[in-house]
Structure 1
């Protein structure tokens, strides 16, 4: 059955999908509108149930309960407790965290802390890890056991700031990102964006943005990539957290009111149709 040509409103466009999760679901939504879709996951999610590192980190925290817990994402905190539950460690982990002061990076982190039955002692001025570490340093970390829950690609610069201030630091990364299986697809995507061949690109996680910029930096093409994303390619982001690394480079993304993949797809389609 041929598609109704009236519905092929994105015919002639090329849309790049950078997600590793639910990428096909995204792509098919654009293809139904007539777009050509390029898949180039810039990062790959490591499943927590296969993450021996997280298991070891969790055991260490249970054995040495922290004074302070720094929460970068609500999704990550929930994932950590869920992982502990699957490993039969949830009660022990909850006991270890019960006496700690929780500081959060944003509203979702605060919501997760409270939903899990804890209370938070403060929220960062901005929804970035640097601001969360700023808050911890203001409160004081010297001689304290501090847990930094990171998400995706750990921010080693912020870890070092805590250590330099005298924290006994432990980190947990409930959802880790690793190099994608097809790095050549990412390199080709960078060249295609610079050449003006990509109509639009979608991002559903900040690490996906950061990874793309990282690979462009390695190839000494970052300024060209940034210029193309500002001037030639429409950039779509799933929400404000994902948009931070884009906005830091002067890129204003199309972004839905609610941070949902379906809402992002709808917002981008409407933008391109206009």
Structure 2
């Protein structure tokens, strides 16, 4: 098992925990090429996030949706740094809190809150379905988003009569080391990469977008479709890959260790095919 990926090259597109993920692949014998496909930027405390937090504090809320663990924690931490953390937690404590998956649930509990429901599939669509089963007329729904504005999600809630307060904690930009991403794309095109691992939807989106902006999009998609094993940590991460019509696989659990095991188990079979 330790050398099961010997002779294979895996591209790692993550920014956070890239070294950790790469080490897990290297431990199994893989050569690793790093090319972070996005960079997470916290919103300024005096900007959009602070305004959204004040809107949450202004009037009682009925439902709170924690979409990501890192985003929910970042929101609470920003409020605490601004001196309004206790007020925010008191406001959220009076609402029904829902979590999109285990990581978001962990962040909710870490803040001293108790969730009423967690999406088993860790998909936003399941949370939306659960919310729409309630009478939302006149209700205030706080939606913690993480880069993706979730516009269709918000529109569906508003159509059901809810007032939606989006709280955006982070935005995504091109990676700090853009040449590294370009080198990864070139390595894929040159047939040097056997597998690509994605741990976030923005990374998948940005990798394809960068290839498009540099005139390599069509060739990259063709190569990914026929010659590269694509592994995504979960269905949310896979959405841009799926939208591009590219084949991919998901681990049984949306965890980094499970993603690495998936590649270790399936890449040798894929190479034989």
Give the CA deviation at 1:152: 3.2
Whether 2:252 is the aligned partner of 1:253: answer no
Whether contact under 8 Å (1:230, 1:252) holds in the other structure is no
Whether contact under 8 Å (1:49, 1:83) holds in the other structure is no
Q: 1:60 aligns with which of 48, 51, 55?
A: 55
Q: 1:76 aligns with which of 71, 78, 103?
A: 71
Whether 2:42 is the aligned partner of 1:47: answer yes
Change (3 A) 1:93 1:247: same
Q: 1:150 aligns with which of 141, 145, 148?
A: 145
C-alpha separation between the residues in 1 aligned to 2:9 and 2:46? 36
SS at the partner of 1:147?
strand
Residue-by-residue CA offset, 1:209-247 (whole Å, 9 max, x unaligned) = 233345567789777655543531123444565456556
Q: What is aligned with 2:198?
A: 203
SS at the partner of 1:152?
coil
- Structure 1, gaps ≥5 residues long: 1-6
Whether contact under 8 Å (1:102, 1:122) holds in the other structure is yes
The more displaced of 46-55 and 67-76 is 46-55
Whether 2:202 is the aligned partner of 1:193: answer no
The more displaced of 74-83 and 112-121 is 112-121
Q: 1:94 aligns with which of 78, 89, 97?
A: 89
The more displaced of 24-33 and 130-139 is 24-33
1:1-274 residue pairs with structure 2 within 5 A? 13-27=8-22, 37-47=32-42, 52-124=47-119, 126-181=121-176, 186=181, 189-190=184-185, 192-193=187-188, 196-215=191-210, 225=220, 228-238=223-233, 242-243=237-238, 246=241, 249=245, 251-253=247-249, 255=251, 259-260=255-256, 264-265=259-260, 268=263
* RMSD (CA atoms): 3.8
Whether contact under 8 Å (2:224, 2:246) holds in the other structure is no
Give the CA deviation at 1:176: 3.0
C-alpha separation between the residues in 1 aligned to 2:23 and 2:154? 40
Residue-by-residue CA offset, 1:182-231 (whole Å, 9 max, x unaligned) = 55654664565355332222222233223334556778977765554353
Instruction: Return the TM-score normalized by structure 1.
Output: 0.74
Aligned residue pairs, count: 267
C-alpha separation between the residues in 2 aligned to 1:183 and 1:82? 29
